[in-house]
A and B are shown apart, each in its own frame.
Chain A
Amino acid sequence: MKLHEYQSKFLFRDYGIPIPKGQVAASPAEVYDIASEIGGVVVVKAQVHVGGRGKAGGVKLARDAEEARQHAEIILGMNIKGLTVERVLVDPGADIKQEIYLAITNDRGAGKPLIITSMEGGMDIEELSRERPDAIIREHVDPIMGLQDYQKTFIASAMGMPRAQWRAFGKILSSLYVCYSERDAELAEINPLVITAQGELLAVDGKVIIDDNALYRQPALTAERDTSGEPESERQAREAGITYIKLDGQIGCMVNGAGLAMTTMDMTKLYGDADGIGPANFLDIGGGASAGQVAAALRIILSDDNVKCVLFNIFGGITRCDEVAHGILTAYNEVKPDAPMVIRLQGTNAAEGNKIIDEARIPNLISAETLTEAAQRAVAAVKEGG
């Protein structure tokens, strides 16, 4: 789960990391009030879950409250990469001497927390890794022992932090590590962390991503979840316990297991790409595939108007294909889709399952034996349907 910039920074503040004294607003009038209270130069920043909001015009500097209000008129309601801006953060302008990058993330390969930092902050880390790889310091933390003092000294020294800031930087590093661990973050990033003209450190921008699997023990953060960027169908699926991701092709895919679901998508693209045909979604129905689950999944798939054919690919291991076949027929009778459905059942009791489908004699049910055949038939069905 991604946190907005203001949520991330307020979280940092709870852990003792200095941030600008800004506030969030949802209307130009509120922006005016906040900017007057701050006094002087302020920054009005769109709060949306996309990168590149600055380039899109979502971040503006204002000399006074009136100019801040004018910026807010434009930014609030603005569409940035498909998302509507509903809130802005109003921060006092900072007198920046130096921009630093600082993040803690899960290193998948090492299985350890990784601190990434650089005196050349401001740009995003992918860009920094490409252009100035030598300017980046990386340090693993032992997940059992936690961050040690000597590591903080090592990092500050290796990155070239001025000695006058070592103490303050070390404190921020410790606080960020505690925040990252206690809040189950997969990323806690300050970019930039600035050194002001007065020599103080300030977290000017922040980004936190929380591990979805740990949300059960982070109730305060879960309550702040902003789902406005999530397609309606994905929200419905999430609530039904089905993993569904909307894509832009024509073949709706219903599969058991994540790896096989991705593979099924790949096969529709492999055989359909030349004709501009591909997968309409990722969907993992999970184990069991009961009639109720199949029907719920089928409704979600068909809620996408681009879908011209539905491809079922079920490998019955512990699950028996004859049971799945009954589930599909029940779901079919409940939902009565117009789109043709290609059904491929393999594994335990596959022959019985296919027999059940064939004997139902439903004209737009097409059975297939192999995955290749299933994908090719689904592509053909889309082509025929025009």
Chain B
Amino acid sequence: MSILIDKSARVLVQGITGRQGAFHAKLMMDYGTDVVGGVTPGKGGEWFEGKPVFDTMRMAVETTNADVSLVTVPARFAADALLEAADACIKLVICLTEHIPVADMMKVIAFCRRRGTRLIGPNCPGVMTPGQAKVGIIPAMVATAGNVGVVSKSGTLTYEVGFAMKNAGIGMSTIVGIGGDPVIGTTFVDILEMFENDPETEKVALLGEIGGSAEIAAADFIKNSMTKPVAAFVAGRSAPPGKRMGHAGAIVDGGEGSAEEKILALEAAGARVAANPEEIPGLLA
């Protein structure tokens, strides 16, 4: 087992004929993901690598019986694509797109909740269950199958830690990038709860960063509801307050969201917090 996706996931790619969409859809298929088709308005009836392209999500879901969708469309169209996915009652939608206005995301999240659709992202690298499937852009080479669950706000930092774990002989159950935006569909707590309930996950690595209070909520959850050990890293100890560090959500605002307060909360909750991400494999051994 794993969380969110496994080899039975039937995946649609929204924006499959775009440059990014096509490139990553192909890599996902090469990895063994069951990509059953794609959606690009105005290109219905075309084919991509032997899979059908549809004009609308409703048509695509009805025809392919897909249960997962990946949104790769540009920021101006992404919120609409997400609403369309939720309206088609897809179970899980993963959004890679960065720079979607927060006002749009708040509406999307409210609508997904109403439709029972789980949203991962936006502004995230996606989800990978090593050896089974990947939905998103996480490179195949950063992970092998195993029993450590990884949840992270960032992309390349996750690859870095995943690669270090792989080199140390530690495998992963599922890797989830929840995204670096201020308002996201799925939080650390949601994913920690899934890992806690997943029999194949024995330990968890959490990679947080400055901004907001999601790591504080995660610390509360670790303290009160988790039995599995957690190793953590929080990026941005050296970041100045009031500045947005690349990710829209990575900002220490009005004294809230600093790395120090998050590290203290995670340590107090019993998580082992690394000062250097290269120490994480050691903390999980």
Contact = CB atoms under 8 A, between A and B. Distances in A.
B101 A184 contact: yes
Contacts of A284: 246
Contacts of A184: 101-103
A371 B99 CA distance: 29
Interface in B51-77: 75-76
B163 interface: yes
A263 interface: yes
A350 B255 CA distance: 39
Given A257-B155, A257-B157, A258-B247, A371 B277 contact: yes
B107 A143 contact: yes
Contacts of B99: 213
A25 to B, nearest CB: 28
A269 B238 contact: yes
Interface in A107-128: 108-109, 111-113, 125-126
Interface string A247-271: 1000000011111111101111110
Nearest to A107: B183
Given A106-B182, A262-B210, A213 B102 contact: yes
Contact of A144 (B111, B247, B255): B111
A265 B210 CA distance: 13
A211 B103 CA distance: 9
Interface residues of A, number: 51
B160 A260 contact: yes
A105 to B, nearest CB: 10
Central interface residue in B101, B141, B212, by most chain A CB within 10 Å: B101
Central interface residue in B76, B158, B249, by most chain A CB within 10 Å: B158
Contacts of B142: 317, 347
A235 to B, nearest CB: 15
Contacts of B107: 143-144
Interface in A173-219: 181, 184, 186, 211-214, 216-217
Given A247-B240, A257-B154, A259-B154, A109 B101 contact: no
Contacts of A243: 246
B282 to A, nearest CB: 12
Interface in A274-297: 278-279, 282, 284
Given A214-B103, A317-B137, A282 B245 contact: yes
Contacts of B259: 266
B182 A262 contact: no
Contacts of B243: 245, 282
Given A144-B111, A262-B209, A371-B160, 8 more contacts: A258-B154, A260-B157, A261-B245, A266-B236, A282-B246, A317-B137, A347-B141, A371-B276
27 contacts: A108-B212, A112-B110, A143-B103, A144-B110, A184-B103, A211-B101, A213-B100, A213-B101, A213-B248, A214-B102, A255-B156, A257-B157, A259-B152, A259-B154, A259-B158, A260-B156, A262-B246, A263-B157, A263-B277, A269-B237, A278-B238, A315-B160, A315-B163, A317-B138, A317-B141, A347-B139, A371-B276
